[in-house]
Amino acid sequence: MQTLIAPARIVDGTGSVAAGHAVLVDGERIARIAPTATFDGFTGPCINAPEATLLPGLIDCHVHLCFGAEPNPGEVVERMRPGDITMRALLNAQRTLAGGITAVRDCGGKDYLEFAVRDACNRGQLLGPTIRAAGRMICMTGGHGNRFGRVADGVDDVVRAVREQVHAGSDLVKIMATGGVMTPGVNPEDAHYSAEEMAAGIAEGHRFHKTCASHAQGAEGILNAVRGGIDSIEHGIFMTERCIAEMLERGTVLVPTLAALANILESADRGIPDYVVEKARRIGEVHRESVRAFYRAGGRIAMGTDAGTPFNRHGENAQELRYMVDVGISPLDAITMSTANGADLMRLADTGRVREGAVADLLLVDGDPLEDISRVADPAHHRLVMRRGTVAHGGASTPVGAAFRDAAQ
């Protein structure tokens, strides 16, 4: 089935903007992009949007689908039954897609329960975004994430933990380089794994063709991860000039997750544990300054939210673009970071770009997000979300989920 989308402008995900062009979607892919007049006489479904902007579906490189954004999400999940956690992960994935996010990277779940959701969405059996999942994050004894992670100590045990994730079917490996905000009794500045442990875990992940992400907030842990060959630094709160220089040299991607601390600070009086609020207040502005410095230095950034952490709701992921612009990132760069850069980090070929032959993961928004980033950041301005050519949210004649139901039969 062919659908024509005729917006005012196309922001293609790579930094280019085209006015007066239309996009022909044929099945799951973009068949043609040409001046709108080229399609005169087209008789199929047409979405005529002369005041709107078409861009790739957004990509969130850091979510936790099993967590529900409660004041203390981990405590809630510990009390839930496995089936309930799985259903919650599916609902969160579907909310995320409805919010304009067509692909996500789950950076740590619960006992691999999110894998069933990943597989059903990726196969097209259920409506949802494309999902890449890390499985159990790997952390030291008493380290950040130990409530649900795979605790491993020493080089041999870290290597074994990575192999367990590979065997379980993980798409990427998540290694915790430092302390963090949500774990009591740990300091975000402290390096947890040694340089040797980090390097061994990353090398093992790469040996099995997995990308590796590291929760890394303090400078020493960031450097341990970067020098070990990590693909992405998650959060990067205390990046120094040395950290930035070495990340630039190696092409390490930063996934800032500005929404995580912002939502904690905005909801500090709503039942979030005191230790979480105290750490967030201490590091909030440092984080913003670090992201700003990395951007100004020309570092490569991919959007991520840490959705599922306190009051950081699935479906509101696009708000991260507002936080990015607030620290000084241009709207056009924020869109690139949230589309093509995310696709590259997640190794999603033919995704994250509006171009001929690409997968038709698309977002149509009212107005011009280059003038007002809220047009992307606020789902109230989203007119259409399309995932692999099927309308997932918004107005068009294609039945929502029809292609997904057909694929399952």
Annotate 355-381 with DSSP letters as a single string.
STTSB--EEEEES-TTT-THHHHSGGG
Instruction: Name the segment(s) of the chain with CATH classification 3.20.20.140.
Output: 58-317
Q: Which residues pair with 233 in a beta bridge?
A: 214, 254
Q: What is residue 225's three-state secondary structure? A: helix
Burial (0-12, 13-18, 19+ Cβ within 10 Å), 105: buried
pLDDT at 398: 34
Q: Which of 211, 114, 229, 220 is nearest to 168 (CA)?
A: 114
d(CA 102, CA 145): 27
Each residue of 130-176: pLDDT tens digit? Answer: 999 999 999 999 999 999 999 999 999 999 999 999 999 999 999 99
Fold of the 58-317 domain: TIM Barrel (3.20.20)
pLDDT at 395: 61
pLDDT at 397: 36
d(CA 251, CA 42): 45
CATH number of 2-56+352-408: 2.30.40.10
pLDDT at 128: 98
Q: Which helix (H) or strand (E) holds 385?
A: strand 382-387
Q: What residues of the chain score a pLDDT lower than 70? A: 395-409
Q: Which of 234, 227, 109 is nearest to 169 (CA)?
A: 109
Straight-line distance from the first to the last Cα atom of the chain, in angstroms, rounded to the nearest whole number = 19
d(CA 377, CA 320): 7
Residue with tokens 């139901």: 405
Q: Which of 341, 291, 346 is nearest to 106 (CA)?
A: 346
CA dihedral 140, 142, 147, 149 (to 10 degrees): 0
pLDDT at 1: 87
- Tell me how far the alpha carbon of residue 406 is from its chain's centroid: 28
- Other C-beta atoms closer than 10 Å to the C-beta of 168 total 14
Give the CA radius of gyration of the chain: 21
Q: How far is CA 195 from CA 117, 152, 236, 244, in A?
A: 34, 14, 17, 18
Residue with tokens 């992940």: 205
For residue 174, give the DSSP letter: E
d(CA 225, CA 57): 30
Q: Which of 267, 270, 307 is nearest to 284 (CA)?
A: 267
d(CA 334, CA 324): 7
Each residue of 185-216: pLDDT tens digit? Answer: 999 999 999 999 999 999 999 999 999 999 99
- Encoded tokens for 125: 């059996």
Q: Which of 364, 366, 369, 257 is nearest to 320 (CA)?
A: 257
- Encoded tokens for 212: 């590796």
Instruction: Name the segment(s) of the chain with CATH classification 2.30.40.10.
Output: 2-56+352-408
